[in-house]
Chains A and B, each alone.
Chain A
């Protein structure tokens, strides 16, 4: 991995810079440590809605000018809200990046939140949610999350509950923005075709004078251990049955996270770790493909978790074979999971998972946007070393580690089993 620069300004703003001179492009990301994790009941979805409002303009950059200015320069920009964070990025021709730098510094504290725009965005977000509600796997995933977390705010979907989307006010949104959008709660990450010294000087000009902001409130509601399996079923239109099995899993910084990534790779195929580009690797020789798809118990399989600040979920999504029942598929899944708890995996399987991860990182490195994403994302999880040492840590995983995490986390008592059942079909 090539070198990068990290610095913290006096107001607490973290800055990470990585020069990459392969193309005349710069990707610029600003991350805020606020996501659905800190949203109280009644305000679910507020972080995501604030993210939408950040595209509605400031006195200096009115909404109508904003996207046109970026588009005119041939830039790409977008934003994402997740459980733990909200992030904004622009990838621009290198000579045009100053526009993005100004825009992000400006909207860190000058966004308008015009009441009329708030109202029009309310229905846009409800439409976004309704689009998701068309999808069986969204309905099932939401039910599973709510069942898995009784206390921790991870129980809510990032987009929020419709009741809250209908009732939140402009002042709620503005208050949330003012509380969490501060230099001391933010990270600026850039990768691409720039000179580090010059870029740092420019960022200082833009941010040095901003007050740090008060430490924002956090919801501290750890989830108590789950001691018995939960089963649920969602009914809806269609002909296809889906099965999701979700286990409580460790946070990204837990030492078990990496062995669990190896376990995931050999059970369900390697997850694509890149947010942009890279492409996935198929999973047709994974253990669960062989057990479930090759033996015609399912026609689709994916596995995976998420790198999160607090413990979240790891699990499998299966599209049930039209001639099978979800129960039959689950029984065979359980046989495989029992096997991986009882028998150590081979060294070769681990070596393969490492090679796959190495390939996925190489594919992702073709893309400046993806490189800048990694810089900021890993900082959110505790530091760039999380990314920088990923392959090394993977290489240290032993068969015993994999067996231990299988025994620790893949326990029937700590899982939620959910099925999406086509309405009118026999369960």
Chain B
């Protein structure tokens, strides 16, 4: 009964490149009078020195705080007056942006995107305001059991690797960054080479491209540096534990896991299906069943796999009363052991395969769902037909491949175990 094919593919994704290096992906959706704009570019925290960690993130956060043609207030007047939004942030490998507007305002949204990317002036007073906000954010982070467990977990599993560092830095590194550091970072790192822009919504491909060309087509930066490639990471030698003391927090966050496959690893899909059985499917998979349903220890207990172009991470997390951390740890370790030694049953695999295939229409119904899909296609080189061939790829995974993925990454004697709370 529905009127359009649901899965994006070469038949309705338009991918093109501007002469200056910007890649544009587009897919039309005329069901709602809105449009979404997302993308990324090579200005991540991988370029930050240890002393000024957080520079890339600070720079991204200041792009809209004053430009050659707009004050902070004027820029946001333009944006908010039309009910549009736009924001920037930085990760390790890239910085990214996300915006949306009613389709009648796409041109203005792209104009503001280009202005923020190309002509930020980093006004000293606005930089200081932003600094105070970032420092407050870090003070709040230091009280957040989940964030603090996560920081320690990354420090342990990604030791000696760029991923061990938090993109948002530390209070002392944010304090060390000057206004000139921000301007210098912008002039070296910001440019069209490697930039990807995705537009999804009630606009035709040709019109979307015209808008992008108009505002970003003549952008060049001969000084722009390429993002270095990432080294691999070895698993830990042995179980490594860390306890973070945060007074006054009755609930502890517990993280147990290791490095995982990259998004381009041949084992990625098998690991992803295995992860579903371990801690996602139904009510948080086997982990949810043991920790929440059978033992009543936690409101949330699940596993997750995060994978990018570099090494990924594969972790089980749970929020438990500080008195129950040991018990929950034992239960989770037992499940990881069972998973790593026995893998999954054919029925369990089938369930998760059905889930992966069945949930596609739901994950791709909105403009933002499609935009994320297009970003993944480009970022990980998945191919425009990725979603059309997805079912075959998912269904071809065997229980042996899941077991191999589990044994490769979740080795019970090489895990990081981190807890944070009033411990």
Residues of B within 8 A of A322 (CB): 132, 135-136, 139
Residue from A25, A67, A134, A360 within 8 A of B282 (CB atoms): A67
- Residue on A with the closest CB to B283? A67
Sample of 4 more A-B contacts, CB < 8 Å, known A71-B351, A93-B362 = A23-B2, A24-B6, A299-B133, A299-B136
Asked whether, in the complex, the Cβ of B292 is within 8 Å of the Cβ of A76, the reply is no
User: Mind listing 23 A-B residue pairs with CB under 8 Å?
Assistant: A22-B3, A22-B365, A25-B361, A67-B282, A67-B283, A72-B351, A73-B354, A127-B251, A128-B299, A133-B251, A134-B144, A134-B145, A240-B136, A240-B139, A282-B79, A284-B80, A285-B80, A299-B132, A352-B81, A359-B101, A359-B102, A363-B34, A366-B365
Residues of A within 8 A of B101 (CB): 359
Residues of B within 8 A of A256 (CB): none
* Known contacts A127-B319, A285-B80; is-contact A367 B359 (Cβ 8 Å): no
Asked whether, in the complex, the Cβ of A321 is within 8 Å of the Cβ of B362, the reply is no
- Residue on B with the closest CB to A65? B282
- Residue on A with the closest CB to B82? A355
Q: Name the segment of A116-124, A170-178, A224-232, A327-335 touching the other chain.
A: A116-124
A179→B354 CA distance, assembly (Å)? 38
Asked whether, in the complex, the Cβ of B1 is within 8 Å of the Cβ of A193, the reply is yes
Residues of A within 8 A of B248 (CB): 236-238, 423
Find the residue from A131, A193, A281, A300 having the highest chain B CB count within 10 A: A131
A131→B317 CA distance, assembly (Å)? 14
Smallest CB separation, A147 vs chain B (Å): 22
Residues of A within 8 A of B247 (CB): 237
Interface assignment of A385: CB less than 8 Å from any CB of chain B: no
A238→B295 CA distance, assembly (Å)? 32
A120→B296 CA distance, assembly (Å)? 5
Smallest CB separation, B105 vs chain A (Å): 9
A367→B364 CA distance, assembly (Å)? 10
Query: Would you list the 8 A-B pairs with minimal beta carbon distance, nearest first?
Result: A74-B358, A359-B83, A237-B248, A74-B359, A120-B296, A67-B282, A123-B296, A128-B299
- Residue on B with the closest CB to A286? B80
**Interface residue tally for chain B (C-beta within 8 Å):** 73
Residues of A within 8 A of B145 (CB): 134
A194→B2 CA distance, assembly (Å)? 9
Chain A: interface size category: 35 or more
Smallest CB separation, B238 vs chain A (Å): 30
Asked whether, in the complex, the Cβ of A22 is within 8 Å of the Cβ of B136, the reply is no
Asked whether, in the complex, the Cβ of A75 is within 8 Å of the Cβ of B34, the reply is no
Smallest CB separation, B77 vs chain A (Å): 5
Find the residue from A195, A279, A366 having the highest chain B CB count within 10 A: A366
Interface assignment of B9: CB less than 8 Å from any CB of chain A: no
* Known contacts A358-B83, A360-B83; is-contact A74 B3 (Cβ 8 Å): no
Asked whether, in the complex, the Cβ of B132 is within 8 Å of the Cβ of A300, the reply is no
Contact indicator per residue, chain A 61-79, by CB within 8 Å of chain B (1) or not (0)? 0010001101111111000
Smallest CB separation, A160 vs chain B (Å): 14
* Known contacts A22-B3, A130-B321, A280-B85; is-contact A91 B296 (Cβ 8 Å): no
Interface assignment of B320: CB less than 8 Å from any CB of chain A: yes
Residues of A within 8 A of B292 (CB): 124
Interface assignment of B84: CB less than 8 Å from any CB of chain A: yes
- Residue on B with the closest CB to A192? B2
Interface assignment of B100: CB less than 8 Å from any CB of chain A: yes
Interface assignment of B249: CB less than 8 Å from any CB of chain A: yes
Interface assignment of A397: CB less than 8 Å from any CB of chain B: no
Asked whether, in the complex, the Cβ of A119 is within 8 Å of the Cβ of B139, the reply is no
Give the secondary structure class of A's interface.
Answer: mixed
Residue from A67, A131, A300, A367 within 8 A of B299 (CB atoms): A131
Q: Find residues 65-113 in chain B having any chain A CB closer than 8 Å to their own CB.
A: 72-73, 76-77, 79-85, 87, 100-102
* Known contacts A134-B145, A193-B2, A366-B34; is-contact A127 B354 (Cβ 8 Å): no
Interface assignment of A166: CB less than 8 Å from any CB of chain B: no
Q: Find residues 299-333 in chain B having any chain A CB closer than 8 Å to their own CB.
A: 299-300, 319-321
A282→B82 CA distance, assembly (Å)? 11
Interface assignment of B404: CB less than 8 Å from any CB of chain A: no
Asked whether, in the complex, the Cβ of A300 is within 8 Å of the Cβ of B136, the reply is yes
Smallest CB separation, A305 vs chain B (Å): 20
Residues of A within 8 A of B229 (CB): none
Smallest CB separation, A123 vs chain B (Å): 4
Residue from A91, A122, A363 within 8 A of B362 (CB atoms): A91
A93→B358 CA distance, assembly (Å)? 7
Residue from B3, B296, B358, B361 within 8 A of A122 (CB atoms): B296
Interface assignment of B204: CB less than 8 Å from any CB of chain A: no
Interface assignment of A106: CB less than 8 Å from any CB of chain B: no
Interface assignment of B281: CB less than 8 Å from any CB of chain A: yes
Interface assignment of B4: CB less than 8 Å from any CB of chain A: yes
Interface assignment of A220: CB less than 8 Å from any CB of chain B: no
Residues of A within 8 A of B281 (CB): 68, 71
Contact indicator per residue, chain B 138-154, by CB within 8 Å of chain A (1) or not (0)? 01101111000000000
Smallest CB separation, A113 vs chain B (Å): 15
Asked whether, in the complex, the Cβ of A134 is within 8 Å of the Cβ of B320, the reply is no
Residues of A within 8 A of B366 (CB): 277, 366-367
Residues of A within 8 A of B355 (CB): 71-74
- Residue on B with the closest CB to A69? B282
Smallest CB separation, A65 vs chain B (Å): 9
Contact indicator per residue, chain A 273-298, by CB within 8 Å of chain B (1) or not (0)? 00001011111110000100110100
Asked whether, in the complex, the Cβ of B362 is within 8 Å of the Cβ of A270, the reply is no
Residues of B within 8 A of A279 (CB): 85, 100, 368
Interface assignment of A146: CB less than 8 Å from any CB of chain B: no
Q: Find residues 222-262 in chain A having any chain B CB closer than 8 Å to their own CB.
A: 236-240
Asked whether, in the complex, the Cβ of A120 is within 8 Å of the Cβ of B294, the reply is yes
Residues of B within 8 A of A357 (CB): 83
Asked whether, in the complex, the Cβ of A282 is within 8 Å of the Cβ of B132, the reply is no
A281→B109 CA distance, assembly (Å)? 13
Interface assignment of A21: CB less than 8 Å from any CB of chain B: yes
Residues of A within 8 A of B367 (CB): 366
Interface assignment of A303: CB less than 8 Å from any CB of chain B: no
Residues of B within 8 A of A128 (CB): 299
Interface assignment of B388: CB less than 8 Å from any CB of chain A: no
Residues of A within 8 A of B250 (CB): 130, 133-134
A19→B234 CA distance, assembly (Å)? 53
Smallest CB separation, A51 vs chain B (Å): 13
Residues of A within 8 A of B76 (CB): 282, 284-285
A122→B102 CA distance, assembly (Å)? 46
A355→B296 CA distance, assembly (Å)? 47
Residues of A within 8 A of B362 (CB): 25, 74-76, 91, 93
Interface assignment of B129: CB less than 8 Å from any CB of chain A: yes
Q: Find residues 79-133 in chain A having any chain B CB closer than 8 Å to their own CB.
A: 91, 93-94, 96, 119-128, 130-131, 133
Asked whether, in the complex, the Cβ of B31 is within 8 Å of the Cβ of A127, the reply is no
- Residue on A with the closest CB to B276? A71
